[in-house]
Homo-oligomer: A and B are copies of this chain.
Amino acid sequence: MKNDLTNGLGTKHPCAQNACAEGVTGIRDALYVLNGKWKLPLIFALTEGPARFKDIQRTVGDITAKVLSKELKDLELNEFVIRTVLPTTPVTVSYELTPYSLSLHKVIKELKDWGIQHRQRIIASRKVNNKLESK
């Protein structure tokens, strides 16, 4: 037998025929603008409405002012966020989602739900392990 290339994998992978290329590209495009540790959490933090710099910082936790400042600029550039300086004393700055960023709603919802579920799964599996260890 001339080295059966299917190897039980089913003749050929569709992706090998470039059928998945568009999907992979889509995901890579999305990740290109949403990359990093903070962009999605930040967008999520603004879904309930506009917020100010320090408020955002407190909400998302851990993020330093420098990083927050840079991430917000990125989000502004990519038209996810609008920055407004309010003429109060002292000035306050409001960050607000753009209509376009609302198109990310489902992505963010699914990711959030998955994350919550994943944490519970991890915790549950740790409990099981602890029980096994204490035997």
- The interface of chain A, by Cβ under 8 A from chain B, is 3-4, 7-10, 13-16, 19-31, 33, 35, 37, 40-41, 44-45, 47-52, 55-56, 58-61, 86, 88-89, 92, 94, 100, 103-104, 106-108, 110-119, 121
Given A7-B86, A24-B44, A35-B37, A55:B108 Cβ within 8 A: no
Q: Nearest Cβ distance between residue A107 and chain B, in whole angstroms?
A: 4
Contact across chains for B7 and A88 when beta carbons are under 8 A apart: yes
- Count of this chain's copies in the oligomeric assembly: 2
Interface of A is mostly: helix
Residue of B nearest to A14 (CB): B48
Given A13-B51, A20-B44, A115:B26 Cβ within 8 A: yes
Given A24-B60, A26-B116, A115-B25, A13:B107 Cβ within 8 A: no
> Which residues of chain B are near A30, meaning CB under 8 Å?
111-112, 114-115, 118
